[in-house]
Amino acid sequence: MEFRHLGRSGLMVSEISYGNWITHGSQVEEDAARECVRAALDEGITTFDTADVYAGTKAEEVLGRALKGVRRESLEIFTKVYWPTGAGPNDRGLSRKHITESVHGSLRRLQTDYVDLYQAHRFDNETPLEETLKTFDDLVRQGKVLYVGVSEWTADQIAQALKIADEMGFDRLVSNQPQYSMLWRVIEAEVVPLSEKEGLSQIVWSPIAQGVLTGKYLPGQPPPAGSRATDPAGGNFISRMLNDDVLTRVQNLKPIAADLGLSMAQLAVAWVLQNPNVASAIIGATKPEQVRDNVKASGVKLDAEVLKKIDDVLGPVVERDPAKTVSPEKRP
């Protein structure tokens, strides 16, 4: 496993990290969750990503149990706040009240005294940015959070936050967590250039497009049994990528992967890691074999000719519009 700096900070993260959205506390049983975490640790993954909202807070509990007994100093644990964790009007968003209550819940469920990175899961259009950033800064002073970042923020929102942090002397954001894969490149035009200039990294989610880039979803055929597309929670999210044009083009990537001696999942993970602004690719898994397959992308170099062949195969199905990075107008 290779390691990269998180933004301009001193923190190192494993360039492949493990995330538990859709899986822990939901799609997979606790035994399988524990086996995946064990496989991740055995393969040298030290960075784990979760969120208060995953599986209605159960995912953090499962991860906390799975990591119990592992030396805390050998792990980087990331979590997030914003999406609703309860029915009340203050059980969501980035207010001082919700952030403070949510981080306490996360620490309890994860069975840890601090999280390494605390991320605003979306931009909250209903809370003054100063309030959020001051609260994040307070959590850093209290030692409950070591670094702060965001997820799915636009370049403009990140720039606003950096300006306030610099004016007020608050801790600066070190990272953004966007969706990024061969199929979804919306950060490249604006978010990445700003982040490079300002010292933030991307920690990218769904690098294999939730399984689509493994090539296991075939055009014109029902999804394979047990895959995310058949899961009641996950099926909804993956469905927009399951159209025959995308799936046919993905099948045409198979010779490129085969020529390089890579699995399709390894090619997809390696692809996001070619971007130097990416500190880590967060992989999900329902089975330990998937973790063991995907981690082999660490350290793989893809040359310009390979990258061009991939672009030629995928053609117009690649999404590049920066306007696709959106947070809800009102809190959900």
CB of 307 closer than 8 Å to CB of 277: no
Residues 1-60 that bind ligand NAP (CB under 6 A): 19-23, 49
Number of C-beta neighbours around residue 270 at 10 A:
24
Q: What's the rounded Cα separation, in Å, for the pair 97 and 79? A: 17
Looking at 195, 290, 298, 327, which residue binds ligand NAP (CB under 6 A)?
Answer: 290
Q: Would you state the structure tokens that stand for residue 322, as one six-digit string?
A: 């920066």
Tokens of 42: 């055995």
Stretch near ligand NAP under the rule CB under 6 A, chosen from 136-144, 155-163, 280-288, 305-313: 280-288
- From the list 110-118, 161-169, 201-209, 318-326, the region that binds ligand NAP by CB under 6 A is 201-209
Cα separation, 174 vs 171, whole angstroms: 9
Is there binding between residue 227 and ligand NAP (CB under 6 A)?
Answer: yes
Q: Is 180 a catalytic residue?
A: no
Beta-carbon contacts of 155 under 8 Å, excluding residues fewer than 6 positions away, are 190, 191, 193, 194, 322
Q: Tell me whether residue 80 or residue 144 sits nearer to ligand NAP (CB atom).
A: 80
Query: Within positions 77 to 136, which residues make up the interface with ligand NAP, using CB under 6 A?
Result: 121
- DSSP H/E element including 173: strand 173-176
Residue from 60, 61, 137, 152 in contact with ligand NAP (CB under 6 A) = 152
Binder among 154, 201, 214, 327 for ligand NAP (CB under 6 A): 214
Q: How many CA atoms lie within 13 A of 72 on its CB side?
A: 9
Task: Name the 3-class secondary structure at 78.
Answer: strand
Query: Cβ atoms within 10 A of the Cβ of 29, count?
Result: 11
Looking at residues 169 to 198 of the shown chain, list those that interact with ligand NAP (rule: CB under 6 A).
177
Site for ligand NAP in 59-78 (CB under 6 A): none
**Residue with smaller CB distance to ligand NAP, 130 or 318:** 318
Residues forming the site for ligand NAP (CB under 6 A)? 19-23, 49, 121, 151-152, 177, 205-211, 214, 216, 227-228, 265, 282-286, 290, 293-294
| Residues taking part in catalysis | 54
